[in-house]
Amino acid sequence: MSKNKKELIKICISLTLLIVAVLIKSLDQYVSLGIYILSYIIVGKNVVIKAVKNILNKQWLDENFLMTISTIGAFCIGEYPEAVAVMIFYQVGELFQNYAVNKSRKSIKSLMDIRPDYANVIRNGKIESVDPDDVKIDEIIEIKSGEKVPLDGIIVEGNSMLDTSSLTGESVPRRVDIGDEILSGCVNISGLLKVKVTKVYEESTVNKILELIENATTKKSKSENFISRFAKYYTPIVVILAIALAILPPIILQASFSMWLARALTFLVISCPCALVISVPLSFFGGIGGAAKQGILVKGSNFLEMFSKVDTIVMDKTGTITKGVFKVQKICPNNIDKAELLKLTAYAEYNSNHPIAVSLKSEYKEVLDTSKIQDIQELTGLGVKARVYGKQVLVGNLKLMKKHNIKYEEAKDIGTVVYVAIDNEYAGYIVISDEIKEDSKASIEAMKRMGIEKTIMLTGDKREVAEVVSKNVGIDEVYSELLPTDKFHKLEDILKLETGSKKVAFVGDGINDAPSLARSDIGIAMGGIGSDAAIEAADIVIMTDEISKIPTAINISKKTIKIVKQNIVFAIGVKVLVLILGALGISSMWEAVFADVGVSVIAIINAMRAMRYNKSLHIV
């Protein structure tokens, strides 16, 4: 039986006994008192025990102490039903709190399920089931259908569909084949895979994510630190005020001691800072859990709070705004068929693994007949030279055309231009460029609707390419042809322009972005293809390559902070009002119950909203 169910049973039994004692007037007063005491012990025993333990540990000024002293005091002045009712409703509030925390935790715990239990490693022709920590780099592991991928690696045999939802938050499975890299933490849906391990478990994706999750709740926000400081000074002050309320009026005003003692006890019940102490951390916990559901890992509530203040977002181009994958955009033949030009070019690039060569071969799509290729020569800084189907083919840049005295037509297109000559005659050119992500433009528009005042792109690419990309997606400012050190210094210049509480976020994915991610107020790593260094340096990790996750994170952070502020204002406002009424004798123990438990429950329910997120709020 779960802890929450046990507590619910205790509350029900205690409430039943309380109703019996209140409604049956014919009961002997000692029997009635015995029922009240039994009811109190059933529901309040744990609170009293905690209070005693905290007193022995010299940490007595907390809500357990306040609840114990006020309810026992109520017994002393004959307020038996009120004493039991206060403790019952306090435990109801605790039940709501536990439910909310558990629900929020499930969002994060779903990520914890990615931890692998074992790895099937092939050694000496046999399969051994071992701890993932015991597997070395370059060893071959076997992953059956339905098993978790225990370590990062490259597929050497088999193909399958992978469930990446635990890492990315995306429900659509991804197809993988021989040569594809797969990350630990995914689930193999179909087919048998053999994978060559590329990272030990300690350096694997799954272990790094688990470390981020486990450390996320240790970094407190300013709001949480404020609540901790507030509770530290608030509790002793209200205890002193309660003592003064019980002693001074009877002495000064010659009033009834029992009346002012009752008011002091009511004052103590009201003063419990449960709503603040519980709801503020719970709001941040819910926000972090809600972000995790969307494939966004926030390393601490301080970063979630800080992100809500960002007004400038600086972005790397390749891998963030663009896909980081070269693709043929245009084929311009000269006295040759377009398909034939692509075919001869792809054949000439057969031996090359350069991204441009890969994109040309990928565009051709057909299987290359290697018997038709001879004399391939890599010409450093120029291109390649090969004999294909008996024809001499030159593929490369303008320098290659000039070196062989080829009369060419210079292309005016934006992107990387590959010139082709066949048997020393100019045959045309092919334009290759990095593709803009489908969601880049809509995401940047969404950021601006959410209050981002300026978007800036930093890139090492050519000015012409950078300007075309920035214009297409709606970037406000662009700085191009930057070395990694230039990016860092440009970011520092941008940071110097920010004043007050405004913050600058930097978004990147490569190892060269790590210094900028660490230097910015908030570093955001695109974790799907991001380097380990970038993920390590970032404060927020996007587990997919979707830039649309950035407005999602902004929305979650702003919503969480709004909920936190609502809870702080509501809790303090109601507390102060009812404290004054309690001191004046206007509010009774029942109003005290509402001020303590009622406010806590309302604040907790409000905090739970941080866990929910509507995707339709930002992308239109």
Out of 73-87, 129-143, 408-422, which region has the weakest mean confidence (pLDDT)? 73-87
Mean pLDDT of all residues in 106-120: 64
Residue 213 has pLDDT above 70, yes or no: no
> Within 10 A of 287 (CB to CB), how many other CB atoms are there?
31
Smallest CA-to-CA distance from 593 within 101, 79, 16 is with 79
Question: CA 7 to CA 94: how far, in whole Å?
Answer: 9
pLDDT at position 389 over 90: yes
Residue 113 has pLDDT above 80, yes or no: no
Confidence at residue 41, expressed as pLDDT on a 0 to 100 scale: 92
Q: What is the mean pLDDT of residues 225-234?
A: 64
**Each residue's pLDDT tens digit, 10-40:** 888 888 888 888 888 777 888 888 998 999 9
Residue 171 pLDDT class (50, 70, 90 cuts): very low
Strands laid side by side in the 322-333 sheet: 322-333, 425-436, 416-422, 391-396, 383-388, 373-379
Identify the pLDDT of residue 619.
Answer: 44
How do residues 234-280 score in pLDDT, each as one tens digit?
Answer: 777 877 888 888 888 888 888 788 788 878 877 776 766 666 667 77
Q: How many helices (H) and strands (E) does the chain have?
A: 21, 22
pLDDT(336) > 80 = yes
pLDDT of residue 292: 79
**C-alpha span between 269 and 595 (Å, rounded):** 8
Q: Which CATH superfamily is domain 302-321+437-538 in?
A: HAD superfamily/HAD-like (3.40.50.1000)
Do the domains 302-321+437-538 and 324-436 sit in the same CATH topology, yes or no?
A: no
Is the pLDDT reported for residue 530 higher than 60? Answer: no
What is the topology classification, in CATH, of domain 119-214?
2.70.150
Q: What is the pLDDT of residues 351-362, one digit of tens each?
A: 877 777 888 888
Q: What is the mean pLDDT of the chain?
A: 80
Q: What is the pLDDT of residue 99?
A: 67
Distance CA 407, CA 429 (A): 13
Beta strands at 454-458 and 181-182: parallel, antiparallel or unpaired: unpaired
Question: Looking at per-residue confidence, does 33 or 597 come out higher?
Answer: 33
Domain boundary assignment for the chain: 3-108+218-284+558-617, 119-214, 302-321+437-538, 324-436
Cα separation values, 263 from 80, 243, 268, 276, 586, Å: 15, 10, 9, 23, 9
For residue 394, what pLDDT band results from cuts at 50, 70 and 90? Answer: very high
Q: How do residues 179-206 score in pLDDT, each as one tens digit?
A: 888 888 788 887 899 999 998 888 776 6
Q: Over pLDDT 90: what percentage of the chain? A: 18
**pLDDT at residue 53, as a whole number:** 86
Strand partners, 431: 330, 417
- Confidence (pLDDT) at 594: 67
Q: pLDDT band at residue 609, thresholds of 50, 70 and 90?
A: confident
Round to whole Å and give the CA distance between 586 and 569: 23
The rounded Cα 511 to chain-centroid distance in angstroms is 21
**Separation between Cα atoms, residue 292 and residue 306, nearest integer Å:** 17
Q: CA 202, CA 132: separation in Å to the nearest integer?
A: 9
Q: Give the Cβ contact number of residue 493 at 10 Å.
A: 9
Handedness of CA 314, 318, 320, 321 (dihedral sign): positive
Q: Is 291 within 8 Å of 298 (Cβ atoms)? A: yes
| Contact status, residue 601 vs residue 96, Cβ threshold 8 Å | yes
Split at pLDDT 50, 70, 90, the class of 289 is confident
Give kind and range of the element (H or E) at residue 344. Answer: helix 338-348
pLDDT at 477 over 90: yes
Locate tokens 């092939």: which residue?
122
Catalogue the active-site residues. Answer: 316
Instruction: Give the CA dihedral 60, 61, 65, 67, nearest 10 degrees.
Output: -170
Of the candidates 170, 132, 520, the residue with the CA atom closest to the CA atom of residue 311: 520
* pLDDT tops 60 at residue 112: no
- 334 — pLDDT class (breaks 50, 70, 90): very high
Tokens 């088999």 locate to 158
Distance CA 407, CA 421 (A): 9
- Reported pTM: 0.65
Average pLDDT for 291-304? 82
Q: In terms of CATH, what superfamily is 324-436?
A: Calcium-transporting ATPase, cytoplasmic domain N (3.40.1110.10)
pLDDT at 620 over 60: no
